[in-house]
């Protein structure tokens, strides 16, 4: 999986392409050089054969056959120099002189060149001894054939060529392997980068990408990303600030309207009083939304100084359950507390009470008549605790659970049906995070399970 990922990575593809192009280029240059050297070799060889034929013709014309025979003997016994093979035949093709036994079966190449293989008549020898030859008629039917064995040259040429190919293949493989490792290194860096970034976006938008120790593009990318995150936080902050300001600024006039209405209702007929009572209730709902919103903001920004006292969570949960028990009872809901005798945690008792009151309140709101709600507390060793509030209501679909903690988020299903301002869970989360705890939603099969973990 990981290998595939690296192979598919941009870096690897760049490096592989580069290595292939480089190796091909080097191979082409080498091939050109090889062709040039081979051409030079064969031209020299051809010139040598032609000169030899010229010499033979001159000797034949001057000294006839015995001169040629003498010349050939001299050539054979010469200790150095290129060793040509010779054959002199008469008009009928019979051998007159030379070291080749008879006229070979040859292939005709362009430009009067002949090629043959010696093994065709020397039995038992390796068949790939190649000769390049040229023959000439001396005018009276006598033909001279001068051949040169270029097998060695061909062999070393082949070896050079083979080595070249192997070297190229090795370069290619090494390049690809090197490319794989650099790509996997680059890939790992990028993965680290993206992991970190997604964690920042998911968990803590206040965190930033590290710039120290980074180099080059990654450093630049980190810097750009950080400034992007800064802007994002600023915008988010701005939106929160605006909504906070609206809530804050509307609270005072709203309170005054409420006060005035309360005074006015005394002078009204009973029918009018009821209408005013409903308006006052609406005012109270709005005020409670605004207050919840401002409390969430204060908790999130950390500007709210809170108490950090030792308290017994078992007692606190007992109080919550006791407070909500009559409400649950009215809906025929069994509200149970499962808790040890005591469970010490540190925190702000008012905030924690608010937290669990919200959860139990929600549970009662969404659990149908005759349902069940359990508040379960488990102490976790020396410090910390886990509380689960489980209900038998409709629950929250897995896809919506992440959003459920957003401010003003309400499930489509409950929108308009149940009272509430969609801030209950947002406040829960703000309080839990303020206590450095964690809150998660799960499935109670059926129903919702809210788990709160406090350190």
Partner 1 sequence: MKVLLVEDDRSVGEYIAGELDAAGYDCALVADGETGLRRAREGGFDVLVVDRMLPELDGLAIVQALREAGDSTPVLVLSALGEVDDRVQGLHRGADDYLTKPFSMAELQARLEVLHRRAGSSGDAPTRLQVGDLEMDLLSQEVRRRDTRINLQPREYKLLEYLMRHAGQVVTRAMLLEHVWGYHFDPQTNVIDVHVSRLRQKIDRDFDAQLLSTVRGAGYRLGGD
Q: Smallest gap, in angstroms, from Cβ of residue 392 to partner 1?
A: 19
**C-beta of 226 vs 414, nearer to partner 1:** 414
Residue 183's CB: how many other CB atoms inside 10 A? 23
CB of 431 to partner 1, least distance (A): 10
User: Across-strand partners of 95?
Assistant: 89
**Least spacing, CB of residue 214 vs partner 1, in Å:** 41
Cis ω before 224 (30° cut-off from 0): no
CB of 313 to partner 1, least distance (A): 13
Reduce the secondary structure of 228-284 to three states and give it as a string: HHHHHHHHHHHHHHHHHHHHHHHHHHHHHHHHHHHHHHCCCCHHHHHHHHHHHHHHH
Judge contact between 247 and 290, C-beta under 8 A: yes
Which residue's CB is nearer to partner 1, number 47 or number 308? Answer: 308
- Selection from 127, 128, 138 nearest residue 97 by Cα: 138
Site of tokens 């870096």: 11
- Those residues whose C-beta lies under 8 Å from the C-beta of residue 317, and which sit 6 or more positions away, are 337, 339, 356, 375, 377, 387
CB of 369 to partner 1, least distance (A): 16
Which helix (H) or strand (E) element contains residue 51?
helix 10-77
> In a 10 Å sphere around its CB, with 0-12 CB exposed, 13-18 middle and 19+ buried, how is residue 306 labelled?
middle
Looking at the Cβ atoms of 223 and 287, the one nearer to partner 1 is: 287
List residues bridging with 310 in a β-sheet.
346
Binding residues (CB under 8 A) for partner 1: these are 251-252, 254-256, 258-259, 261-263, 265, 273, 277, 280, 287-288, 291-292, 295, 298, 304-307, 319, 322-324, 326-327, 330, 348-351, 353-354, 357-358, 361-362, 365, 419-420, 424
Question: Could you tell me the smallest distance in angstroms from the CB atom of residue 370 to partner 1?
Answer: 18
Least CB distance to partner 1 at residue 303 (A): 8
Residue 61 CB neighbour total at 10 angstroms: 13
Is the CB of 12 or the CB of 324 nearer to partner 1? 324
Report DSSP state, residue 105.
Answer: P
**CA angle, corner 336, sides to 333 and 340, nearest 5?**
175
Cβ proximity to partner 1: between 137 and 281 the closer is 281
> Interhelix angle for 349-366 vs 313-330, to 10°?
30
Residue (190 or 286) nearer to partner 1, CB: 286
Judged by beta carbon, residue 164 or residue 261, the one nearer partner 1 is: 261
Measured from the CB atom, is 424 or 437 closer to partner 1? 424
Please give the backbone phi and psi of residue 80, each rounded to the nearest 5 degrees, phi first: -125, 180
Q: How far is the CB of 418 from partner 1 (least distance, A)?
A: 10
Q: Which is nearer to partner 1, 6 or 293 (CB)?
A: 293
| Minimum CB distance to partner 1, residue 304 (Å) | 5
Nearest to 144, CA basis, from 270, 219, 224, 52: 52
Nearer residue to partner 1 within complex by CB, 213 or 419: 419
């Amino acid at each position: 999986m990981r290998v595939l990922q690296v192979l598919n990575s941009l870096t690897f593809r760049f490096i592989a392409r580069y290595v292939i192009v480089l190796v091909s280029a080097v191979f082409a240059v080498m091939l050109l050089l090889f062709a040039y050297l081979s051409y030079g070799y064969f031209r020299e060889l051809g010139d040598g054969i032609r000169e030899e034929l010229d010499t033979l013709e001159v000797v034949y014309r001057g000294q006839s056959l015995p001169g040629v025979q003498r010349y050939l003997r001299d050539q054979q016994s010469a200790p150095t120099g290129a060793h040509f093979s010779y054959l002199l035949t008469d008009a009928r093709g019979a051998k007159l002189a030379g070291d080749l036994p008879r006229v070979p079966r040859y292939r005709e190449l362009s430009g009067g060149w002949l090629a043959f293989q010696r093994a065709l008549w020397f039995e038992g020898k390796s068949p790939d001894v190649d000769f390049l030859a040229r023959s000439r008629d001396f005018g009276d039917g006598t033909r001279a054939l001068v051949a040169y064995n270029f097998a060695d040259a061909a062999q070393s040429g082949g070896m050079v060529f083979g080595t070249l190919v192997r070297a190229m293949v090795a370069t290619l493989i090494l390049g690809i392997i090197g490319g794989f490792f650099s790509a996997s290194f680059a890939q790992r860096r990028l993965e680290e980068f993206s992991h970190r970034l997604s964690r920042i976006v998911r968990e803590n938008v206040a965190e930033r990408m590290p710039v120290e120790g980074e180099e080059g593009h990654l450093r630049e990318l980190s810097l750009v990303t950080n400034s992007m995150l800064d802007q994002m936080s600023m915008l988010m902050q701005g939106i929160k600030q605006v909504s906070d300001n609206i809530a804050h600024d509307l609270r005072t006039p709203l309170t005054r309207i409420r006060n005035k209405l309360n005074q006015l209702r005394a002078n009204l007929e009973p029918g009018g009083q009821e209408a005013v009572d409903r308006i006052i209730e609406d005012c109270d709902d709005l005020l409670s939304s605004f207050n919840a919103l401002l409390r969430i903001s204060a908790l999130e920004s950390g500007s709210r100084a809170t108490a950090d006292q030792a308290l017994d969570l078992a007692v606190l949960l007992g109080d919550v359950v006791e407070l909500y028990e009559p409400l649950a009872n009215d809906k025929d809901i069994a509200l149970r507390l499962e808790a040890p005798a005591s469970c010490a945690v540190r925190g702000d008792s008012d905030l924690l009470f608010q937290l669990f009151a919200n959860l139990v309140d929600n549970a009662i709101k969404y659990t149908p008549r005759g349902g069940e709600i359990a508040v379960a507390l488990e102490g976790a060793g020396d410090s910390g605790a886990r509380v689960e509030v489980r209900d038998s209501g409709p629950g929250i679909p897995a896809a919506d659970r992440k959003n459920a903690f957003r401010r003003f988020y309400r499930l489509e299903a409950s929108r308009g049906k149940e009272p509430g301002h969609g801030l209950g869970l947002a406040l829960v989360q703000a309080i839990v995070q303020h206590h450095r705890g964690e809150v998660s939603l799960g499935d109670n099969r059926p129903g919702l399970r809210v788990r709160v973990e406090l350190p």
